[in-house]
């Protein structure tokens, strides 16, 4: 029996992957993916701190909004103190709701990547024309606000349709972040030519770790440190990517922020041995290290 396959990329073992070093000579590239999300009030999808009752679900809406009003600003201060860059994964509706938050990160040179219109919806639920329109609307809003188009995309809820990579390449994107299948970037075949998949974490990610598996703030910080230390050793023989996925309404809570500071401080103290960077810079560097396939 032959089972279904996505047809986007072939299998490759990590030991057969690219060994060329990153631009600064390091073997490990580290990026922080900061999810800035906005949710509809009284309708649509939303992460839940506790089981919600009838709409409007004030408890869960207010919990998520804490990230935009408080947590995101605390993370800004933390990254400034540690001189660490970030990739901001931006719901375009943030630019209507609280544009100053996104502007503050852009002002320090952080990358702004597309993350749909709102996390109250999934693009995988939409017909092709509507998904194309969603991508175009979110991309256009970010481009108009910042004066440049985003080069990377993370789908709301990390949800893709069977067409998503094709539509992203068609819309001019260089890379996507929805897949967690490797510790190196992977070239995906699309109907429009190759697009790069940059690894996005589902383990060192505060939602699965804290909201789902109920890890403590200290345990999540330890996960980051242990992941970093182990991957730093592994990167002696392969060029690897370590992503850390953060949501301000979760890790921006004061008691978690204190532990996150410890973990990110550990990484910052080893900056001479790694490449602290953004997902976009990883994609650009990888395209030089492993050029895209000539046919896809």
CATH number at residue 129: 3.20.20.370
DSSP string, 178-209: ---S-SS-EEEP-TTS-EEEPP--SSSBHIII
What is the C-alpha radius of gyration for the chain, rounded to an integer number of angstroms? 19
Q: What is the pLDDT of residues 43-81, one digit of tens each?
A: 999 988 887 778 899 999 999 999 999 999 999 999 999
Distance of CA 61 to the CA centre of its chain: 22
What's the DSSP call for residue 21? Answer: P
The more confidently predicted of residues 162 and 47 is: 162
Over residues 261-283, the mean pLDDT reads 98
* Residue 295: per-residue pLDDT: 54
Q: What is the pLDDT of residues 11-51, one digit of tens each?
A: 999 999 999 999 999 999 999 999 999 999 999 999 888 87
Query: Which residues constitute the domain of residue 260?
Result: 25-40+58-289
Q: For residue 15, is it within any domain?
A: no
> How many Cβ atoms sit within 10 Å of the Cβ of residue 3?
4
| Residue 128 tokens, joined | 């092709």
Over residues 115-121, the mean pLDDT reads 97
pLDDT at 160 over 80: yes
* Residue 50: per-residue pLDDT: 82
Q: For residue 11, is it within any domain?
A: no
Mean pLDDT of the chain: 96
pLDDT at 293 over 70: yes
* CA distance linking residue 249 with residue 32, whole number of Å: 16
What's the DSSP call for residue 49? Answer: S
Q: For residue 264, is it within any domain?
A: yes
Q: For residue 53, is it within any domain?
A: no
Q: For residue 266, is it within any domain?
A: yes
Q: What is the pTM of this model?
A: 0.96
Cα–Cα separations (whole angstroms), residue 181 to 199, 201, 228: 7, 9, 18
* CA distance linking residue 191 with residue 296, whole number of Å: 8
Cα–Cα separations (whole angstroms), residue 248 to 10, 78, 104, 165, 213: 36, 12, 14, 27, 18
Q: For residue 194, is it within any domain?
A: yes
* CA distance linking residue 159 with residue 154, whole number of Å: 9
Count of structural domains, the chain: 1
* CA distance linking residue 50 with residue 290, whole number of Å: 45
Q: For residue 115, is it within any domain?
A: yes
The string over 44-68, giving b where at least 16 C-beta atoms fall within 10 Å of a residue's C-beta and e elsewhere, is: ebbbebeeeeeeebeebbebbbbbb
Question: How confident is residue 196, by pLDDT bands cut at 50, 70 and 90?
Answer: very high
Over residues 140-148, the mean pLDDT reads 98
The string over 241-261, giving b where at least 16 C-beta atoms fall within 10 Å of a residue's C-beta and e elsewhere, is: bbbbbbbbbbbbbeebbebbb
Residue given tokens 């639920």 in the structure block: 125
Q: For residue 157, is it within any domain?
A: yes
* Residue 49: per-residue pLDDT: 85
* Residue 236: per-residue pLDDT: 95
* Residue 48: per-residue pLDDT: 86
pLDDT at 296 over 60: no
């Amino acid at each position: 029996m032959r089972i279904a396959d996505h047809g986007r990329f072939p299998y490759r073992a990590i030991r057969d992957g690219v060994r060329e070093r990153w631009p600064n000579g390091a073997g490990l590239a580290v990026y922080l993916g900061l999810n800035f999300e906005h949710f509809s009030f009284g309708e649509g999808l939303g992460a839940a701190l506790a089981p919600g009752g009838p709409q409007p679900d004030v408890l869960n809406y207010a919990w998520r909004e804490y990230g935009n009003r408080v947590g995101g600003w605390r993370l800004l201060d933390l990254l400034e103190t540690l001189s660490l860059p970030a990739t901001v994964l931006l719901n375009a509706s943030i630019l209507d709701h609280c544009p100053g938050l996104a502007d503050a990160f852009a002002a320090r040179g952080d990358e702004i990547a597309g993350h749909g219109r709102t996390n109250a919806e999934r693009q995988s639920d939409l017909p092709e024309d509507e998904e194309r329109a969603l991508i175009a609307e979110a991309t256009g809003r970010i481009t108009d606000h910042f004066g440049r188009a985003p080069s990377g995309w993370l789908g709301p809820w990390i949800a893709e349709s069977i067409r998503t990579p094709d539509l992203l390449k068609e819309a001019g994107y260089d890379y996507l972040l929805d897949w967690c299948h490797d510790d190196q970037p992977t070239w995906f075949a699309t109907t429009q030519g190759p697009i790069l998949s940059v690894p996005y974490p589902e383990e060192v990610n505060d939602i699965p770790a804290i909201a789902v598996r109920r890890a403590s703030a200290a345990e999540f910080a330890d996960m980051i440190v242990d992941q970093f230390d182990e991957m730093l050793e592994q990167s002696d023989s392969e060029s690897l990517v370590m992503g850390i996925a953060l949501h301000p309404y979760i890790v921006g809570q004061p008691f978690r922020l204190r532990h996150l500071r410890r973990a990110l401080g550990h990484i910052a103290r080893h900056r001479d041995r790694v490449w602290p960077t953004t997902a976009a810079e990883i994609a650009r560097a990888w395209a030089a290290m492993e050029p895209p396939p000539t046919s896809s």
